[in-house]
Amino acid sequence: MPVARLQLHRHPWVDAAALAGALLVAFLLFRLVGSRPQQLAVATDSTRFAPESAFALTQTLADSFQNRVTGTLASRRAAAWIQARFDALGLVTETRDFPITLRGVRVRGRNVVARSGGSVPGAIVLLAHYDGQTTSGQSAGDNAGGVATLLELARALEGSGHRRPLVYIATDAQEWGSIGAAAYVRSVDRPQDIVGAISLDHVANGIGGSVHISGVGQGRGFAPLWLRNAATDAFAAGSIRATDVGPVTEWFQRTVRLSLTDQGPLVRAGIPAINLGVEARYPETARFLYHTPGDRWETLRISSFALLGAGTERLVMALDRGQRVAGPTGYLALGRDRMVSGYAILLAAIALVLPLAFATWESWVAARADPASRSAIRSEATRAACWWLTAAVGLAVVRLMVGTGILPEYELYPATVRDPFLYTVRWGPILVALIALGGASFALGWLRRRIKHGLAHPLAGRAAALSTLLVLAVVTVARNPFAAITLLMLPAWLWPWIGPTKRPLTGAASILVVLASAVPFLVAAYVFARHLEVGPKVGYYLFLQSAYGAWSPLTTLMFVVAVLAASRLVGTATARLLPEAGD
């Protein structure tokens, strides 16, 4: 085929029809395919929870055991005090240690586990973390208040009797990625035997206004909708407002799949689990005191414990008395009584990626039509394979810097919010990582030329870049359809329109198109930064998360490969072909 007849889109109407069809299919799946969750009956029983007692226990734990950072002597003493409180209730208690690395130092965390038996199979788990932050002394609201609520609930529930076994856990190292909760999950022989789990994290400073429900899993899954609804009903029975996330926030959480509270590892293991915390009536004050020395027991209110305790007790009684309820964790809630199943979301993600598959096929047809491009196909495919090797070298260097202490090691998550470590960017490790990426790219390019795979052509390069994006999309759809739709839908639609043309300003327009396709990622990073209060240093935070393993190695590799593929695609748009080439 003559060069003058080459076109990036040989059948643009087919592309448009495929895109419109994909959108229609996705819309119909979300609109028509749904199901209703099972319901757990919640009675309006009176409760035995005493908020004054929980407040007094908070004062003791916060004031007498300050600076309860994991691995410290204060943390050990706090664990001993908690164990003594469980012992006084006649519970079977034990401590379980686990290793953890914090700022390059290997220490041991300690969970306190207490149990009581039951006559009906299926345990109910209540947990709250007692460890504090490096930036707070008392760590009263986060989370001495949660532990005190747990202890008072143990007193109330053991006094009223129950059918199912109850397990109470004071977890350690929640601040560093829920390491204690994950250690407990690993110790459970049959996680599927647990009827439900409730994490109690954070009693907000100031006057409490409502109870917030969180259910995102750490890596996958979400709390089943029946449990979220039951929690809302349990608090509503006491005229307490419980707030849950809406569909947009839930979609974002399912895209990121990063839990900051202890229900996360349990949900990941398939255990129905939620987190409950008191939200302040005046959130500005609570946010100001969060993770600071101002988080003291004097800033808490007894009324906040009344909000949290009675509703939680009512929820536990419903789990104890009712029949076991099951429900999916891969879904999207569109309201209290309607959810879109995970299979429908998976089909929607596939439908939205199909136009990219067609455009990729077109790109190979165009690449094979020109003799010069056809001869460069193998070289461009080799270049695309080297993108993965380049990313692997960069990740290996980052992990090596962590292992050698150049970058202080943390177990999973970087330092806690408001720790100075997060706000003092270490440019040295970042520069080393960039040099490693550049050096690997240069070395692999030299090697390609040595083995006669150094040819380049914009049409073949475009086909290789789109093929790489298609691989990324397929892998992401299989791993997390929510992330595929959120992060890769725009690239899948926009990248096929980038390539060599004879129009002026093609390169500049291509850069704008690539930046436009990155908008969902930038929005996600912005929301992430606001939630964690890292601001413009969110890039550094994400770099640290990759270094410490909060993101999987594959996720990090795919991000780097996507950036390299985008740069190659922009390069094809600025290439100089014959004047009549292009579309």
Q: Which two tokens stand for residue 472?
A: 């990324």
- Joined together, the tokens standing for residue 222 give 């979400």
The token pair that represents 510 in the structure block: 């291509």
Summarised one tens digit per residue, pLDDT across range 355-392 is 899 889 989 998 998 899 999 999 999 999 999 999 99
CATH 3.40.630.10 occupies which residues in the chain?
51-325
Looking at residue 576, its pLDDT comes to 56
pLDDT at position 568, please? Answer: 94
Beta bridge partners of 340: 332
- Sequence-ordered list of residues with C-beta below 8 angstroms from that of 303, at least 6 positions apart, any chain: 51, 207, 208
Q: Which of 425, 406, 249 is nearest to 334 (CA)?
A: 249
73-106 confidence digits (pLDDT tens): 999 999 999 999 999 999 999 999 999 999 999 9
> Which amino acid, 235?
F
pLDDT tens profile 454-508: 899 999 999 999 999 999 999 999 999 999 999 999 999 899 988 887 666 666 7
pLDDT score, position 28: 76
Residue 246 main-chain phi, psi, to 5 deg? -85, 175
CB-CB contact of 448 with 386 (8 Å): yes
Which DSSP letter does residue 537 get?
G
Question: Which residue type, as a one-letter code, is found at position 67?
Answer: N
Position 310: which residue type? A
Assigned token pair, 204:
């907000």
Residue 574 confidence (pLDDT): 76
Domain at 51-325, CATH from 1.10.287.130, 3.40.630.10, 3.40.190.10, 3.30.1330.10: 3.40.630.10
Q: Which residues contact 84 (CB under 8 A, 6 or more apart)?
A: none
Contact 123, 165 (CB under 8 A): yes
pLDDT at 9: 52
| Each residue's pLDDT tens digit, 303-334 | 999 999 999 999 999 999 999 998 899 999 98
| Bond preceding residue 143 cis, omega within 30 of 0 | yes
What pLDDT shows up at residue 506? 67
pLDDT of residue 583: 45
- List phi, psi (to 5°) of 212: -105, 140
Q: Is 556 exposed, middle or buried (0-12, 13-18, 19+ CB in 10 A)?
A: buried
What tokens appear for 158 in the block? 């053991």
Give CA separation, 417 vs 279, 358, 473, 506, in Å.
18, 45, 32, 43
pLDDT of residue 207: 94
In this predicted structure, what is the pLDDT of residue 137?
94
Q: Which residues of the chain have pLDDT under 50?
A: 1-6, 578-583
C-alpha to C-alpha distance for 568 and 499, rounded to whole angstroms: 10
**In this structure, are residues 357 and 351 in contact, taking their beta carbons and an 8 Å threshold?**
no
Predicted pLDDT of residue 191: 93
DSSP lists the bridge partners of residue 199 as 127, 275
If we measure between CA atoms, which residue out of 367, 378, 386 comes closest to residue 458?
A: 367
Q: Which residue, among 125, 126, 144, has the nearest Cα to 136 in the 3D structure?
A: 144
Average pLDDT, the chain: 91
> Are 377 and 384 contacting, i.e. CB atoms less than 8 angstroms apart?
no
